[in-house]
Chains A and B, each alone.
Chain A
Amino acid sequence: MLATTGRQWAELLRAASQPDAAPDTEALLRQAVALGHDVAPDAIGCSITTLDGERYFTPVSSGGLALDLDEAQYRSGDGPCMAAAREHRYHDFDAATDAARFPGFTEAAVERGVRSSISLPLTGTARPSAINLYGSSRHAFDAERPQAVASLLARCISTVLSRPAATEPGGVVPSARLAAARDQAQLITAAETALMDSRSVSRPDALTMLMHRSRTEARSIFDLAREVVRDSEGAQP
Chain B
Amino acid sequence: MTSTESGMSLLDGMQLSGMTFSELWLRYIAVSGTVGELELEAYVLGLLLPDAYQHNLIAQALNEYFLEQGQDHPVAYRDTATVD
* Chain A residues close to B by CB (< 8 Å): 1, 5-6, 9-10, 13, 16-17, 38, 144-145, 148-149, 152, 155-156, 159, 168-173, 177-178, 180-182, 184-185, 188-189, 192, 199, 201, 204-209, 211-212, 214-215, 218-222
B48 and A10 form a contact (CB under 8 A): yes
Which residue of chain A has the shortest Cβ distance to B73 in the bound complex? A215
User: Can you give 29 contacting A-B residue pairs, CB < 8 Å?
Assistant: A1-B47, A1-B48, A9-B42, A148-B21, A148-B41, A149-B45, A168-B36, A169-B36, A169-B37, A169-B38, A173-B25, A181-B26, A182-B30, A185-B31, A185-B32, A188-B31, A192-B32, A199-B83, A207-B32, A207-B53, A208-B53, A209-B83, A211-B56, A215-B63, A215-B73, A220-B64, A221-B31, A221-B64, A222-B64
In the bound assembly, the distance between CA atoms of A169 and B48 in angstroms comes to 17
B26 and A177 form a contact (CB under 8 A): yes
Which residues from chain B contact A188 at a C-beta distance below 8 Å?
A: 30-32
A182 and B29 form a contact (CB under 8 A): yes
Q: Which of A10, A170, A177, A182 has the most CB of B within 10 A?
A: A170
> Contacts A170-B36, A173-B37, A211-B56: A185 and B47 contacting too (C-beta < 8 A)?
no
In the bound assembly, the distance between CA atoms of A22 and B11 in angstroms comes to 32
Which residues from chain A contact B32 at a C-beta distance below 8 Å?
A: 185, 188-189, 192, 207
Q: Give the A-B pair count, Cβ closer than 8 A.
A: 117
Which residues from chain A contact B77 at a C-beta distance below 8 Å?
A: 211, 215
> Contacts A13-B48, A145-B45: A214 and B38 contacting too (C-beta < 8 A)?
no
In the bound assembly, the distance between CA atoms of A206 and B32 in angstroms comes to 12
Q: How large is the interface on B (under 10, 10 to 19, 20 to 34, 35 or more residues)?
A: 35 or more
- Per-residue CB proximity of B27-64 to A under 8 Å, as 1/0? 10111100111110110011111000100110010011
A13 and B31 form a contact (CB under 8 A): no
Which residues from chain B contact A177 at a C-beta distance below 8 Å?
A: 26
Prevailing SS type, chain B contact patch? helix
* Chain B residues close to A by CB (< 8 Å): 11, 15, 21-22, 25-27, 29-32, 35-39, 41-42, 45-49, 53, 56-57, 60, 63-64, 67-68, 72-73, 77, 80, 82-84
In the bound assembly, the distance between CA atoms of A170 and B11 in angstroms comes to 19
* Partner among B11, B35, B72, B83 whose Cβ is within 8 Å of the Cβ of A218: B72
- Write the nearest CB–CB distance from A95 to chain B, whole angstroms: 27
- Write the nearest CB–CB distance from A185 to chain B, whole angstroms: 5
Which residues from chain A contact B36 at a C-beta distance below 8 Å?
A: 13, 17, 168-170
Which residues from chain A contact B39 at a C-beta distance below 8 Å?
A: 13, 17, 169
In the bound assembly, the distance between CA atoms of A204 and B53 in angstroms comes to 8
Which residues from chain B contact A169 at a C-beta distance below 8 Å?
A: 35-39
> Contacts A9-B47, A173-B26: A152 and B63 contacting too (C-beta < 8 A)?
no
Which residues from chain A contact B37 at a C-beta distance below 8 Å?
A: 169-171, 173
In the bound assembly, the distance between CA atoms of A156 and B27 in angstroms comes to 22
